[in-house]
Structure 1
Amino acid sequence: MIERDYITVKKSIISLLESIPEPTESIIETFVVSMLNNISTPLDKDKLIAEIWSELVLNAHYEKPDIYEDSSQDHVKWLTDQKKKSIKWLYWNRYAEDLLEGGFNPKALDSVDDITEDILSRMEDPQREGRWDSRGMVVGYIQSGKTANYIGLICKAADAGYKLIIVLAGIHNDLRYQTQLRIDSGFIGSRKEPDKPEQVVGVGLISAKHKRKNLEVPLDVTCLTTSSPDGDFTKKFAGSRISTSPDGAPVCIVVKKNATVLRNLNEWLTDLEKKHPELPLLMIDDEADNASLNTKKYEDATAQEKEDMTSVNRQIRDILNKFDKSAYVGYTATPYANVFIDPDARSDEYGADIFPRNYIISMRSPPGYFGSDTVFGRKSSGDAVDHFPGIVLVDDDEIMLPPERRSDSTFVPKEISPSLYEAILSFILSTAVRTVRNEGVDKVIHNSMLIHVSRYIAAQGTNSDNEEMQTGLTKLIREILDSIKDDLGIADSDRYREFHDFWDASFYPRSKDILDRIDDPMCSDVTWEQVRTVLRKTVKSIKVRTLNGGNKDDKLDYSKYEKDGLNVIAIGGDKLSRGLTLEGLTTSYFIRTAKTYDSLLQMGRWFGFRFGYVDTCRIYTTQDLITQFREINAADAHLRYQIRDMIDSDKTPANYGYKIIQNDPKFRITQQNKMRTAGKEIGNPYSGSLKQTYKFQVSPDIVMDNFRQVWQLVSALETRCGYENTKEGNYLWKNVPVDLLLKYIPDIKLHPELGMGKDLIRYISDRSSSVESPELTHWTVVLVNNTSK
């Protein structure tokens, strides 16, 4: 009863506050107190204020994405207001309802609604006659909600009439399994597991509720893959399950990007295409920069060699080319390889490559997103103290896999380093803090720790209930947890003193430093006394999962712990490098190096949303890795505002010529075979360079407009900044804040051949507004006295 009253009161207050543009904490408190004074149920005032503040303030400002669309392509605009009214949107509406019931933020849902409509409108109308295809790409951020986005797109596409939906879900079974679970919940509505009856989940529960109320529900989706360990596509399982027709229910297939799996799917689709070539196909390519691209060399290649594309790329293109109507949408947070796809690559047999020739949608960083820029900043050097206070430096002499052993696939660590032991203590305390905060709350939370030190199974170890079969890090960590658990069973154990000392000296002060920088009222204060009472229970609950080829049965099965939550230490390498979500990730021990931007950035599983527990997050890593992440951040920001500049310049991806910053020749942008069409390295076009206006606009109207802008700037400088007279008679203003320049300079019209348009303005704006490492924040301005000439 109390929980239901709490939700009702919370929704009522949020509804009342939505009319206030920027509600402050004090305004929210006034509404909460007023509401609580008028009800008899005792509710937690501080918790209400914190959660309402989070929903209304942290998530209130969703910026619209940057959208490029090539108007020269064969696209017919179709999603008019009238067309939208004629579509029932049954799949989308039940998905939206399921998200809201699960606590999804309404503002975030509005953003998903808008963006998925933007994407759908740029795909073709599935009812359009004739043969057509489209290629698009959505650029997001790591762990920023792209799965929720493309499930929303799938629902809307099904409502509009797309009948065959194929999701390419990474290259590992773990990611395919995790994606299948999400799609089961958000689109299918049921889950199939071996030796168990079919289970109704997610949107299926919404449909069941609607049926009881005699409301219309969408047709059941036929899914040809399952969440079982061997649930990837097979022709045997597909069999005769499909009875798709233009008027029937949609068919969904979730597969990993494996040449054999895709070949089997392709062969099976050949028969389907013969019966129903008119079926509209939607292909979602998750992690579109990984495995999907053709990495064969094109330079000086013969016609036959150009046909010999990589097998996964060939299967993808063959599937798309097989149907008269197809739409391909690639999702990625690291599009560095995608911009190097040959836009003109085409095969007579397999059709055009997956270059996003029709549209590119670049999403903005969502509010409250805990991203690489927040964690590491953008400078190429500096101390960790300039970054997120949760970063803990691992000294080189503490690294348990020394450089000379990192390429040794047989190396097995005999003991853990002091820094890894501290990271384990941090994870235990983080989990205990979250347990205390969640007491009395009807909400399941998961807690995860990531350990990523090597790609080799020997170092990671193998997991087994049989202790004699355990090896490597897995064995060492299990032994430590068992030892801690046993010691905490003794009331006056030295372990309690060890945890208490670490809490006082490091964990609690660092948490305070984090909250001094990142405002999150949901992070309520927790005392050592509260933590102590749940410490042993916390340690006993922690599982160890080793995700590698030697532990095929180990997976992050959060869905099986929906009652009490899963507390897990995940040890791994390549399987933890892309796409996989670690729920409630608080502690990361990451010392594995990478040779490319995209590989390293994708390894950062700690990015995402951390409302209510950001103060418990810790990242144990090295200074070298921090420096590399900063370099990536600068390059990533520059690429994203090049996409905006391409849109403003009315150019296409084929003729714009993207430039990606690379400072260290040993630290590459992406794999060399993905950069076949890349030109020579030219360095950062702005950093350390001199930009001059050696050409001027001569149109009288432009000259007059520019004079007005400069006059307004000078007037503002005189008001806000005192000037000096130089010996040459010039006017000099020092320490001019960048916001003053950005208010006037963008409207000054420079000669187009200078190459200093909105791209340069955005470069200055992005550098100066960086959350953690702002640069170019103050300028020197000089007005040259030219009266003597």
Structure 2
Amino acid sequence: MISTLDMKGSFFTYLNEKNKYSVEMIKCMERTVQKLLDTETTLDRPGMLLGKIQSGKTRTFLGVMSLAYDNGYDVVIILTKGTKALSQQTLERLKAEFKDLNEEDKIQIFDIMVLPTLTRYERHQKLAFVVKKEIRNMDRFHQAFFETYPDLIDKKILIIDDEADFASIGFTNKKDEEPEIKKIAGKIDEFRQRVEGCSFLQVTATPYSLYLQPEDIAIDSEVFKPIKPIFTELVPIHDKYIGGEYYFQNSEEEGSIAYHLYKEVHKDELSVLKKQDRRVFKIEECLFNNKIKSLRDAVVTFIVGGCIRRMQDRQKNVVLRKYSFIIHTEQAKAAHEWQESIIDAIVEKLLQESRENSPLFHRLIQDAYANLEKSIELSPLMMPGLPEVVLETKKALDEGHIMITKVNSEKDVNQLLDTSGQLKLRTPLNIFIGGQILDRGITIGNLIGFYYGRRPKTFQQDTVLQHSRMYGARPIEDLTVTRFYTTSDIYSVMQRIHQFDSALREAFEKGKHDKGVVFIQKDANSQIIPCSPNKILLSETTTLKPKARLLPVDFKIRPKTHVQKPVAAIDTIIGNYCKDSSNNPDPFMMDVSDVVEIINHIGTTFEEGHLWNKKAYIASLEYLTALPKDKMLKGKVWVIIRRDRDISREKSDGRLENSPDSYQEKGLAKDIAIDIPAIVLLKQKGTAAGWSGSPFYWPVLVAPKKMQTVVFANHLFAD
């Protein structure tokens, strides 16, 4: 054990002077190295460096690596995800960070697949190896250490598993991947067991949820014992970080810049983008056919937004930056080629219309301008006049400022990446049509547009959030022109994943990780039991935190003949508890069984195809009402009735209404939901825009203050 770390060694001093780490960052690095030295870490019990996506995890583990070199470690092995692009990005980053030390022969950095003959002179220096988590890489890695240079295994070694996820520890829901994943995990574990002075650190933003659970939990006398990392350090979040909170929380707040971020894509449009079918869409109609309206709006808005940002840079007399836009809907290469054809056609025809100064060109630019103006005017930035923006857009089209690039495995990585390992921005406005590489954490600079339509068979946190290349250090100037295009159901899934991710991180930040986050499901007998987190599909979770609201959004009401009977039944149940027929009676308690009956009736009033998970809603009610120790409160729900409401289905700006309860009702519900939940039942007239004309109930559930964060695995609920 080293009681005091050397914080003034040549490696850490060099990187610290170069990167100017914050005090919080240095403390994180110091704690991590100290724990690696003091604790035996293994593949099953690793150290964990937990950060947010694109939040500076690589910067942090490089600092950890430099401090480790100064405190007894000789070799660092960095495991990357299995793509050439990501390993190349990591290699370039290492060479850039340690450039001077490398030139001074203090460190040698290698890709394991292109390892030259190592001299004894080089082997006496500090060494770094980049190894993809892929069988051939792992075999070459073993060969180098156990056959070619066996003296290396006598050195003190640190393995850093970058972008660690389920695959790193052998968990997978894909049976065809399981054998290879287990082989890779086995190779890592075999290496660790054969090398005495070896430490293991995982670095991730998408943790395999196991480690945040308590040592054991018991529900209905069943005990569940999870596996957890031996220690976890949180990567500090810098003040310029933009992540899920901005995209999925702030975007709901009217009056914020983020409110104008999300633009809905119709599901049918994604089908058009899969393959060419002239019966559905003719490419020559790309500037006016509504089958690809969102994509066309996205491309034009990106061009106009990029031009505005460059105009703002020019006004400030700073270097004009280049901007990027991603289209990521399919993995199939044929789809990428089709999408490239569509984007090419949009840009080419936009150029033709520009040269003709046509009304269509001016309408498209004006629509994009009006869209962007809403968010730019909420910032202190200069908003150029429309005529100036039209001229700038014409110039960008005329001078070929727009470059369209397919990003898939057919491309030579060296053509795609710049010297820092990021995707090259070769022109002022760069449109990338995404493939496999965009799944894997590749860095893309100055991203102001993201058109997303990937629907993996299982929405897992480690895949879906890693697609979110829009996270990271983002200046407010870029956020004003940033737009995110996806379908409402994909947006809803990503929102739920963000809620789950936030719950995990909050448990650590508040020091509650010893109690953990409880993962539960319903079994075939409708009993709530512990759930194994490696089976969770993040798209099908419901995260309940103290005071959280849960309500249906994006539903339609059935015709009057289907709604009258269930609404009358709900009125009868309420009448059995509350004789006050006024619009705002006082809150009262109701048995959970009757509230569940009301929720079931409400479910029958909704048209099919809505996103509301009624089973999760009911399970939440049943779980929350079972928590109180006071027998008088167990099985009870506070109920707030509000009648004679008439809220439209959509807000004035076209967004779906997601806050039917007033500010006062939100406050009242949170005030009384202390030990048991509260539910606000809003009886709507149904005559406002978007509804069927029949009265209906809109339920808003509020979780109690005195509860532990819980995650339901909805997909395992019994029918």
- TM-score normalised according to structure 2 size: 0.64
Q: Which residue of 1 aligns with 2:466?
A: 602
Deviation of 1:110 after TM superposition, in Å, equals 3.1
Q: Where do 1:437-476 residues align within 5 Å?
A: 437-439=312-314, 441-443=317-319, 445-461=321-337, 472-476=338-342
Alignment check: 8 A CA contact 1:132 1:325 kept: no
Which stretch has the larger CA shift, 145-154 or 563-572? 563-572
Q: Quote the Cα distance in structure 1 between the aligned partners of 2:352 and 2:513.
A: 66
Deviation of 1:588 after TM superposition, in Å, equals 0.6
Q: Quote the Cα distance in structure 1 between the aligned partners of 2:83 and 2:522.
A: 29
Q: Quote the Cα distance in structure 2 between the aligned partners of 1:184 and 1:148.
A: 13
Q: Where do 1:140-151 residues align within 5 Å?
A: 140-151=51-62
CA separation of 1:400 and 1:258: change in aligned 2, threshold 3 A: same
Q: Is 1:291 the counterpart of 2:167 in the alignment? A: yes
Q: Quote the Cα distance in structure 2 between the aligned partners of 1:476 and 1:507.
A: 23
Amino acid aligned to 2:206: T
Deviation of 1:378 after TM superposition, in Å, equals 10
- The residue matched to 1:438 in structure 2 has which SS? helix
Amino acid aligned to 1:391: Y
Deviation of 1:321 after TM superposition, in Å, equals 2.4
Q: Is 1:278 the counterpart of 2:151 in the alignment? A: no
- Alignment coverage as a number of residue pairs: 539
Q: Is 1:239 the counterpart of 2:101 in the alignment? A: no
CA separation of 1:249 and 1:355: change in aligned 2, threshold 3 A: farther
- The residue matched to 1:222 in structure 2 has which SS? strand
Q: Which residue of 2 aligns with 1:580?
A: 442
Q: 2:46 aligns with which of 120, 135, 160?
A: 135
Q: Quote the Cα distance in structure 2 between the aligned partners of 1:242 and 1:494.
A: 72
Q: Quote the Cα distance in structure 2 between the aligned partners of 1:548 and 1:115.
A: 36
Q: Quote the Cα distance in structure 1 between the aligned partners of 2:425 and 2:545.
A: 54
Deviation of 1:637 after TM superposition, in Å, equals 2.3
Amino acid aligned to 2:496: E
Deviation of 1:734 after TM superposition, in Å, equals 8.9
Q: Quote the Cα distance in structure 2 between the aligned partners of 1:677 and 1:375.
A: 21
Q: Quote the Cα distance in structure 2 between the aligned partners of 1:164 and 1:549.
A: 31
Q: Quote the Cα distance in structure 2 between the aligned partners of 1:606 and 1:135.
A: 29
Deviation of 1:423 after TM superposition, in Å, equals 0.6
Q: Where do 1:328-343 residues align within 5 Å?
A: 328-336=200-208, 339=211
CA deviations 1:355-402 (Å, max 9, x no partner) are 7642112346543432122212399x9999997321111123433448
Q: Quote the Cα distance in structure 1 between the aligned partners of 2:91 and 2:118.
A: 21
Q: Which residue of 1 aligns with 2:142?
A: 266
Q: Is 1:624 the counterpart of 2:495 in the alignment? A: no
Alignment check: 8 A CA contact 1:171 1:291 kept: no
Q: Is 1:436 the counterpart of 2:322 in the alignment? A: no
Deviation of 1:223 after TM superposition, in Å, equals 1.4
Q: Where do 1:287-366 residues align within 5 Å?
A: 287-289=163-165, 291-295=167-171, 310-336=182-208, 339=211, 357-363=229-235, 365-366=237-238
Q: Quote the Cα distance in structure 2 between the aligned partners of 1:565 and 1:116.
A: 38
CA deviations 1:106-136 (Å, max 9, x no partner) are xx6333222212211111179x9xx999721
Q: Which residue of 2 aligns with 1:525?
A: 383
Deviation of 1:739 after TM superposition, in Å, equals 10
Alignment check: 8 A CA contact 1:167 1:283 kept: yes
Q: Quote the Cα distance in structure 1 between the aligned partners of 2:74 and 2:61.
A: 16
CA separation of 1:453 and 1:392: change in aligned 2, threshold 3 A: same
CA separation of 1:324 and 1:445: change in aligned 2, threshold 3 A: farther
Deviation of 1:446 after TM superposition, in Å, equals 3.4
Q: Which residue of 2 aligns with 1:426?
A: 301
- The residue matched to 2:298 in structure 1 has which SS? helix
Q: Which residue of 2 aligns with 1:708?
A: none
Amino acid aligned to 1:571: I
Q: Which residue of 2 aligns with 1:221?
A: 107
Alignment check: 8 A CA contact 2:15 2:63 kept: yes
- The residue matched to 1:224 in structure 2 has which SS? strand
Higher strand share: 2
CA deviations 1:407-466 (Å, max 9, x no partner) are x99x998646121111111111121122112226454633111101112111012xxxxx
Q: Which residue of 2 aligns with 1:690?
A: 625
Alignment check: 8 A CA contact 2:55 2:238 kept: yes
Deviation of 1:681 after TM superposition, in Å, equals 9.5
Q: Which residue of 2 aligns with 1:543?
A: 403
Alignment check: 8 A CA contact 1:292 1:316 kept: no
Which stretch has the larger CA shift, 333-342 or 364-373? 333-342
Amino acid aligned to 1:694: K
Q: Which residue of 1 aligns with 2:715?
A: none
Alignment check: 8 A CA contact 1:384 1:626 kept: no
Alignment check: 8 A CA contact 1:340 1:677 kept: no
Q: Where do 1:643-654 residues align within 5 Å?
A: 643=508, 648=512, 650=514
CA separation of 1:677 and 1:603: change in aligned 2, threshold 3 A: closer
Q: Quote the Cα distance in structure 2 between the aligned partners of 1:580 and 1:631.
A: 24
Deviation of 1:596 after TM superposition, in Å, equals 2.0
Structure 1: which 5+ runs fail to align?
A: 1-75, 101-107, 190-202, 209-217, 226-232, 298-305, 345-353, 462-471, 664-670, 697-732, 746-757, 767-789
Q: Quote the Cα distance in structure 2 between the aligned partners of 1:150 and 1:437.
A: 36
Alignment check: 8 A CA contact 2:545 2:708 kept: no
- TM-score normalised according to structure 1 size: 0.59
Alignment check: 8 A CA contact 1:453 1:592 kept: yes
Q: Quote the Cα distance in structure 1 between the aligned partners of 2:362 and 2:179.
A: 67
Alignment check: 8 A CA contact 2:500 2:543 kept: no
Amino acid aligned to 1:597: Q
Q: Is 1:254 the counterpart of 2:105 in the alignment? A: no
Amino acid aligned to 2:454: R
CA separation of 1:260 and 1:735: change in aligned 2, threshold 3 A: closer
Q: Is 1:640 the counterpart of 2:505 in the alignment? A: yes
Q: Quote the Cα distance in structure 2 between the aligned partners of 1:432 and 1:370.
A: 22
Alignment check: 8 A CA contact 1:163 1:250 kept: yes
Q: Quote the Cα distance in structure 2 between the aligned partners of 1:659 and 1:672.
A: 7
Q: Quote the Cα distance in structure 1 between the aligned partners of 2:330 and 2:82.
A: 19
Q: Which residue of 1 aligns with 2:15?
A: 95
Deviation of 1:140 after TM superposition, in Å, equals 1.3
Q: Which residue of 2 aligns with 1:394?
A: 265
Q: Which residue of 2 aligns with 1:613?
A: 478
Alignment check: 8 A CA contact 1:401 1:453 kept: no
Q: Where do 1:722-741 residues align within 5 Å?
A: none
Alignment check: 8 A CA contact 1:412 1:458 kept: no
- Identity among equivalent pairs (%): 20
Alignment check: 8 A CA contact 2:169 2:185 kept: yes
Q: Where do 1:470-509 residues align within 5 Å?
A: 472-485=338-351, 487-488=353-354, 490=355, 492=357, 494=359, 497-509=362-374
Q: Quote the Cα distance in structure 2 between the aligned partners of 1:734 and 1:400.
A: 42
Alignment check: 8 A CA contact 2:257 2:479 kept: no
Deviation of 1:251 after TM superposition, in Å, equals 1.0
- The residue matched to 1:454 in structure 2 has which SS? coil
Alignment check: 8 A CA contact 2:409 2:436 kept: no
Q: Quote the Cα distance in structure 1 between the aligned partners of 2:132 and 2:255.
A: 38
- The residue matched to 1:318 in structure 2 has which SS? helix
Q: Quote the Cα distance in structure 1 between the aligned partners of 2:417 and 2:207.
A: 29
Deviation of 1:99 after TM superposition, in Å, equals 3.0
Q: Quote the Cα distance in structure 2 between the aligned partners of 1:630 and 1:762.
A: 21
Q: Quote the Cα distance in structure 1 between the aligned partners of 2:353 and 2:198.
A: 61
Deviation of 1:620 after TM superposition, in Å, equals 0.8
Q: Quote the Cα distance in structure 1 between the aligned partners of 2:435 and 2:43.
A: 41
CA separation of 1:503 and 1:675: change in aligned 2, threshold 3 A: closer
Q: Quote the Cα distance in structure 1 between the aligned partners of 2:255 and 2:68.
A: 45
Q: Quote the Cα distance in structure 1 between the aligned partners of 2:149 and 2:170.
A: 25
Alignment check: 8 A CA contact 1:163 1:281 kept: yes
Which stretch has the larger CA shift, 89-98 or 571-580? 89-98
Q: Which residue of 1 aligns with 2:594?
A: none
CA separation of 1:648 and 1:587: change in aligned 2, threshold 3 A: closer
Structure 2: which 5+ runs fail to align?
A: 217-225, 287-291, 524-530, 547-619, 632-663, 676-703, 712-719
Q: Quote the Cα distance in structure 1 between the aligned partners of 2:230 and 2:485.
A: 42
